[in-house]
Amino acid sequence: MSRDFQLPGRSPVIASNGMAATSHPLATLAAIDMLREGGTAADAAVAAVATLCVVEPAMTGIGGDCYTLVSKPGHDVWGYNGSGRSGAKASYEALRAQGLTEIGTSIHAVTVPGAIEAWEQILKAHGRFGLDRALRPAIQYAENGFPVAARVARDWRYYVGKLKANPAATKHYLVNGEPPQEGDVMRFPALAQTLKTIAAKGAKGFYEGEIGAEMAATVAARGSFLTEEDFANHRGNAVTPISTNYRGLDLVEIPPNGQGLTALVMLNILENFDLKSLDPYGPERFHLVLEAARLGFAVRDTHIADELHMRTPVAALLDKAWGKKLASLIDMNKRAKLPPHPAPGSNTVYLTVVDKDRTAVSFINSLYSGFGTGICTEKSGILLTNRGACFTLAPDHPNTFGPDKRPLHTIIPALAMRNGRCDMSFGVMGAHYQPMGHVQIILNMLDYGMDVQQAIDCPRFFFEGEKTVVENGTSRATIDGLKARGHDVAMADSPWGGGQTIKIDWDRGTLTGGSDPRKDGCALGY
């Protein structure tokens, strides 16, 4: 699809040697600088994500979790699950006895942050440099200051009440009790010192010693099951990715406890329909994908959990015949009544880097909700994740809260492979929306011939409970067509997430990148 240059928009970025796409220009530049200094895509990705933990603090932080996929020519795709667990003494029965019916905003939403250990392992496996070098840009911005970008300022304002509720968060992340404005220069001296400790001592300096003890004490004072030993014992793990083939393209995802399986189930449903015959912006396409999503998310909410606790094998959930059976449940003229999924509401950063050797890194890092729990450590300035809110307190469910357990996780990086080579590294932020975002990108490019930027820019749609929620830019005819099929349509208060994509052209030796206008970021190459 050719672009109309008389209309607002941006062109894809095309380069040959290396490319990075992130949600903030300073992070993209940090990645490019690392590549030009001789670093690998992994070095550049860690430099970028650490920078984002400083310059986009509502969206991510070192107190959160991380997943990555790495495609290196001639090797199998490598995955890493850097999500944290509940405490070894965590008790479902104890919470039910307290009268809790969901984790919600309780202190039990805090799980051990897995990001820093994952960064270290990613660098050991695929980098040339260590954390000391990768953290330099983040330390510089935390110590010397960075100007607050437009979308970052908007998010900061939105969550100011959460920060004001915690004295340490107020101290470290507000200015005289107020959020910074666009263009204000912010500094995080405590976070800078914490990053320096990690740079000097590695991940051990984060999970053990004064920093680990302070995180444990901060949550213990509020009744958490987490202990110093839970932080010190944390380890992520390399994983074998899962995938499905959609019209010749293999979509690769991290296995559960991530929700990437949901995107694969959706594609197994949608391959049974002639998407190309449908208007990409029309009500038929929107309706069909929404119905596939409702089925996919019903599968997710029934089955996905820490893989050690799942009762149905992943292979069975990815069975093509079952996907066809699910497809038969869709009525192209009427919205089905299916179980609603949890209401979306998290904040995350996704980035991707491809280097001159064509190693592609798909990387995602998250605190879950904006500024996580809003609970911050007094001395080290670490905002803590609330990922444990994704546990259920329903009895006899594979994702029920329990000891030393990972919750269902919404963050999912993706790779698209063709004939054993990486065709595209991409991801879409936005909590529960992310599998839907992955599917929409694949459909936009494969079925509708959009370029990487057009595929990202395209109006997004999803559902919140019984509501079908569409972005600005969705036509009136499409909205009316959805209503005619039984959808209760509402306009989105905020855009659905954000996304980054890098596509590899192996024949021409080029990289083409796109970055989401819903964020402040950009793609850059050299």
Instruction: Please give the annotated binding residues for L-glutamate, written as ranges.
Output: 431
With beta carbons less than 8 A apart as the criterion, state whether 44 and 22 touch.
no
**How far apart (Å, rounded) are the C-alpha atoms in residues 131 and 126?**
13
Beta-bridged to residue 239, according to DSSP, are: 79
Residues 6+ apart with CB under 8 A from 99: none
> Which candidate, 87, 155, 70, 504, places its Cα nearest to that of 348?
155
Q: Cα dist. 54→46, 159, 163, 213 in Å?
A: 13, 16, 16, 22
> What DSSP assignment string belongs to 399-444?
TB--TT-PPPB----EEEEETTEEEEEEEE-SGGGHHHHHHHHHHH
Q: DSSP 3-state assignment of 366?
A: strand
Q: How many CB atoms lie within 10 A of CB 472?
A: 8
**How far apart (Å, rounded) are the C-alpha atoms in residues 434 and 410?**
7
Residues 6+ apart with CB under 8 A from 330: 269, 288, 291, 292, 295, 336
Instruction: Tell me the three-class secondary structure of 188-256, residue by residue.
Output: CHHHHHHHHHHHHHCCHHHHCHHHHHHHHHHHHCCCCCCCHHHHHCCCCEEECCEEEEECCEEEEECCC
**How far apart (Å, rounded) are the C-alpha atoms in residues 82 and 522?**
25
Catalogue the active-site residues: 348
Type of residue numbered 479: I
Residues 6+ apart with CB under 8 A from 98: none
**How far apart (Å, rounded) are the C-alpha atoms in residues 57 and 36?**
26
Which residue numbers belong to the known binding site? 431
* Beta strands 488-491; 467-470: pairing state: parallel
Q: In this structure, what token pair is assigned to residue 296?
A: 């996919």
**How far apart (Å, rounded) are the C-alpha atoms in residues 46 and 363?**
9
**How far apart (Å, rounded) are the C-alpha atoms in residues 515 and 526?**
16
With beta carbons less than 8 A apart as the criterion, state whether 367 and 352 touch.
no
With beta carbons less than 8 A apart as the criterion, state whether 399 and 306 touch.
yes
**How far apart (Å, rounded) are the C-alpha atoms in residues 280 and 84?**
39
Q: How many CB atoms lie within 10 A of CB 120?
A: 22
From the CA atom positions of the chain, what is the Rg in Å?
A: 22
